[in-house]
Chain A
Amino acid sequence: MFELLGTTLPSRLLLGTAQYPSPAVLADAVKASGTSVVTVSLRREMAGGRAGENFWSLIRALGTRILPNTAGCHSVKEAVTTAKMAREVFGTNWIKLEVIGNHDTLQPDVFGLVEAARILCEDGFAVFPYTTDDLVVAERLLEAGCKVLMPWCAPIGSALGPVNIAALRSIRGHFPDVPMIVDAGLGRPSHAATVMELGFDAVLLNTAVAKAADPVGMARAFGKAVEAGREAFGSGILEPREVAVPSTPTFGRAVFA
Chain B
Amino acid sequence: MRVLVQGAGVAGLTAAFELATRGAAVTVAEARHALGGNASWFAGGMLAPWCERESAEQPVLDLGRDAADWWDAATPGQVTRAGTMVVAAPRDNGELERFASRTSGHRRVDEDEIALLEPDLAGRFRRGLLFPDEAHLDPRQAMAALHDRLADKGVEFHFGADASAVSGFDRQIDCTGMAAGDDRLRGVRGEMLILNTPDVSLSRPVRLLHPRFPLYVVPRTDHRFMVGATMIESQSTGPVTARSMMELLSAACALHPAFGEAEIVETGVGVRPAFSDNLPRVEARGNTVTINGLYRHGFLLAPAMARQAAELVFNQDKSMELANETDRQRQSA
Q: Contact residues of A with B, CB < 8 Å?
A: 21-25, 27, 44-49, 51-52, 54-55, 58, 72, 157, 207, 211, 213
Question: What are 5 inter-chain pairs, A to B, with CB distance below 8 A?
Answer: A21-B56, A22-B57, A47-B236, A47-B241, A52-B232
The answer to whether A44 and B211 have CB atoms under 8 Å apart is no
Please state if A48 and B236 are interface contacts (CB–CB under 8 Å): yes
Q: Could you say which of B211, B212, B237, B278 contacts A22, with CB atoms under 8 Å apart?
A: B278
Q: A21-B55, A21-B57, A21-B278 are in contact. Are A52 and B233 (CB under 8 A)?
A: yes
In the A-B complex, list the 5 residue pairs whose CB atoms are closest, starting with the nearest.
A48-B236, A51-B236, A54-B186, A55-B233, A22-B278
Taking CB atoms, residues of chain B closer than 8 Å to A23 are 186, 276-278
User: How distant is B188 from chain A, measured CB to nearest CB, in Å?
Assistant: 8
Contact A48 B212 (CB under 8 A): no
Cα of A52 to Cα of B98 in the assembled complex, Å: 29
Q: Which residue of A lies closest to B250 (CB)?
A: A103
- Residues 149-189 of B at the A interface (beta carbon under 8 Å): 185-187, 189
Interface residue tally for chain B (C-beta within 8 Å): 26
Known contacts A58-B186, A157-B211, A157-B212: A45-B276 contact under CB 8 Å = no
**In the complex, residue of chain A having the shortest beta-carbon distance to the beta carbon of B279:** A22
Per the bound structure, the CA–CA distance linking A49 and B102 in Å amounts to 36
- Which residue in B98, B186, B212 is a CB contact (below 8 Å) of A55? B186
- Do B243 and A44 have beta carbons less than 8 Å apart? yes
For the complex with contacts A48-B234, A51-B189, 13 further pairs of A-B residues with Cβ separation under 8 Å are A22-B277, A23-B186, A23-B277, A45-B232, A48-B237, A51-B187, A51-B235, A54-B186, A54-B187, A54-B233, A54-B235, A72-B243, A213-B101
- A23, A46, A207: most-surrounded residue (chain B CB, <10 A): A23
User: Would A24 and B234 count as touching, CB distance under 8 A?
Assistant: no
CA distance A49 to B277 in the complex (A): 25
Are the CB atoms of B232 and A44 closer together than 8 Å?
Answer: yes
Whole-angstrom distance between the alpha carbons of A22 and B293 in the complex?
Answer: 12
- B238 part of interface (Cβ distance < 8 Å): yes
The listed residue with most A CB atoms (<10 A of its CB), out of B102, B234, B236, is: B234
Q: Shortest Cβ distance from A253 into chain B, in angstroms?
A: 51
Task: Mark B270-284 against chain A: 1 for CB-CB distance below 8 A, else 0.
Answer: 000010111100000
Report how far A48 CA is from B212 CA in the complex, Å. 23
CA of A54 to CA of B98, assembled, Å: 30
Q: How far is the CB of A188 from chain B (nearest CB, A)?
A: 14
In the bound complex, what is the Cα–Cα distance between A72 and B244 (angstroms)?
Answer: 12
Find residues 48-73 in chain B having any chain A CB closer than 8 Å to their own CB. Answer: 55-57
Which residues of chain A are within 8 angstroms of B56 by Cβ–Cβ distance?
Answer: 21
Say how far B269's CB is from chain A's closest CB, in angstroms: 10
Closest chain B residue, CB of each to CB of A104: B212
Q: Tell me, rounded to whole Å, the shortest Cβ–Cβ distance linking B184 to chain A.
A: 10
Q: Are A47 and B278 closer than 8 Å at their CB atoms?
A: no
Determine whether the beta carbon of B277 is less than 8 Å from that of A55: no
Q: Which residues of A contact B57 (CB under 8 A)?
A: 21-22
Interchain CB contact under 8 A, B98 and A58: no
A25 engages B211 (CB within 8 Å) = no
Expressed in whole angstroms, the Cα–Cα distance for A44 and B238 within the complex equals 12
| CA of A198 to CA of B1, assembled, Å | 71
Give the CA-CA distance A42 to B234 in the complex, in Å.
Answer: 10
**Interface hub of B189, B237, B238, B276 (most chain A Cβ within 10 A):** B276
Rounded to whole angstroms, the CA-CA distance of A52 and B57 in the bound complex is 24
Chain B 119-134 interface mask (CB, 8 Å, partner A; 1/0): 0000000000000000
Identify the closest chain B residue to A207 (Cβ).
Answer: B211
